[in-house]
Amino acid sequence: MIKGVFIIKLKGTKILMKVLKEEGVDTIFGFPGGAVLDIYDELVKTDIKHILVRHEQGAAHAADGYARASGKVGVCLVTSGPGATNTVTGIASAYMDSIPLVVFTGQVPTSLIGNDAFQEVDIVGITRPCTKHNYLVSDIKDLARIIKEAFYLARSGRPGPVLVDLPKDLIQSSAEYKPIKDVQLKSYNPTYEPSAKQLPKVIKLIKKSERPMIFAGGGVILSGASRELKLFANKIQAPVAASLMGLGAFPASDPLWLGMLGMHGTYRANMSSAECDLMIGIGVRFDDRVTGRTDAFASKAKIVHIDIDPTSISKNIRVSTPIVGDCKTTLKRLNKLLGSEDLKGLNKARKPWLDQIIEWRSTKPLAYEQEKAIKPQFVVETLYEVTKGEAIITTEVGQNQMWAAQYYHFDKPNSFLTSGGLGCMGYGLPAAIGAQVACPDRTVVDIAGDGSIQMNIQEMATAVQFNIPVKIAILNNGYLGMVRQWQELFYDKCYACTEMDHAPDFVKLAEAYGAVGLRATKPEEVKPLIKKALAIKKPVIMDFHVEREEGVYPMVPAGAAITDMLLV
């Protein structure tokens, strides 16, 4: 006993479970193996739920989906060697999208590290470029501290994945344990409070601006700043566009909503970025899929960039006014400053600008023509109508992802889960499982392509085993659709290796897994099928046979300016 604190000696596996409970972990997605058998033996003695995936990539994506839907840190547990390497794609996807994960990997005993032992890999070295931080635990005395640090790093500042590598002999050994209340890292101090000197500069720019716009990204959602963003936009009467990761940060039903900005963004959002005289970027990276040709992006505008990560500011686009700080905290400060300003004249000053946006919206809307064959846009719009916009939507990657972003209108944050930065096919199904576990009372739908769904289709077994009633809407066009679209436009319709020959019968495949399979081949079958699927309290695959060569438009060709859109 030291100063009134009782210190007990515990095995490493028990220390791990204690700290997980202290961190509020209620679910782990994982797959057992030799190096982590001791952990699993202890895990089943706790009330922490374990979801057994069928592939470790699925564990990482499911933890990612859980984190995005819940706002908590997602956790996965895998064995050494191939178990660890199979998580790398999921870790990289979470890293690029700033998603808080803690990934526990087993490792061979410390005496065998470096000896090419069975199922040994240097997972710390492999994941160093795609984790926020990682650890190889080398002393049992450090275990509790390292786990606490891992969760702190994952959720604080700009969130991200942290990996903890656990040698088998270490977790079998014992050490004295006492709870760690506070984590302090001398070299890591995220800036949450914005500079008081910079905020008045933003107010001054807002008051001078005639054509302002706000560009919201995933950082708004991660910081829980959606309410503050809506108040800010309405105060200054500035229209709002979002990146793919920022969908849901601002209500799509609000009159100030412009839609998604970028390669497949709306005409009004892309044109607004070119014609605005002030762009306020909040929690965005200004990545290449948004900016197009950088020298032509927002060329008439002063640019304010608010982000908690100082390395993101002026990384891709030079900005006029940088503000390092948490999005929510910064918006609260700006709203407070705006509250003391006379903004009555702004509505009148902004009218010509807002009228121009209304004209763009009416003359160049997102559009398609529903004919004899089912159009994929029609499926997404019908899904939106039936769910009343209340579902959590996950996606795979490709055309399905873009149609979901364009035609399912998100009013709430944490409702659109997609692999944005990495563009990882196979993300949607395991992410939907994670989201459904996090939000059991919500409808969760994975909008997928017939190519991408097969990347992690084995997770249907996970959904069935744990009775996780996710719904999968496959936009089945018999192609790797987005690649085919590029080949159509830029490779003289040479569809090299993009036709999905010998695709499975998805209805029979669903039934083989013990799920429900439904199919629609005509437009009039779409709405009844969706209603039927949503009423079933089991995993369901909906197989929609859609127009084979339908494209995603608008589209900005690679290397073009964001205003150089192909509209048909």
What secondary structure does DSSP assign to 105-163, as a single string? EEE--GGGTTTT-TT---HHHHHGGGSSEEEE---GGGHHHHHHHHHHHHHSSS--EEE
Residue 296 has pLDDT above 80, yes or no: yes
Catalytic annotation, pick one of 56, 149, 396, 550:
56
Q: Is 399 labeled as catalytic in the residue annotation?
A: no
User: How far, in Å, CA of 450 to CA of 465, rounded?
Assistant: 23
User: How far, in Å, CA of 323 to CA of 330, rounded?
Assistant: 8
Residue 147's closest CA among 22, 301, 258, 38? 22
Catalytic annotation, pick one of 49, 118, 208, 508:
118
Q: Is 482 labeled as catalytic in the residue annotation?
A: yes
- SS3 state at 216: strand
Catalytic annotation, pick one of 11, 14, 119, 527:
119
Q: Is 118 labeled as catalytic in the residue annotation?
A: yes
User: How far, in Å, CA of 80 to CA of 91, rounded?
Assistant: 15
Catalytic annotation, pick one of 482, 542, 555, 565:
482
pTM of the model: 0.96
pLDDT digits (tens, 9 = 90+) for 489-536: 999 999 999 999 888 999 999 999 999 999 999 999 999 999 999 999
CA 385 to each of CA 22, 378, 381, 494: distance values in angstroms, whole numbers, following the listed order: 41, 10, 6, 37
Q: Is 506 labeled as catalytic in the residue annotation?
A: no
Q: Is 369 labeled as catalytic in the residue annotation?
A: no
Catalytic annotation, pick one of 72, 132, 168, 328:
168
pLDDT digits (tens, 9 = 90+) for 125-174: 999 999 999 999 999 999 999 999 999 999 999 999 999 999 999 999 99
Longest CA pairwise span in the chain (Å): 78
pLDDT digits (tens, 9 = 90+) for 172-198: 999 999 889 889 899 999 999 999 999
Full set of structural domains in the chain with CATH: 8-177 (3.40.50.970), 199-363 (3.40.50.1220), 376-545 (3.40.50.970)
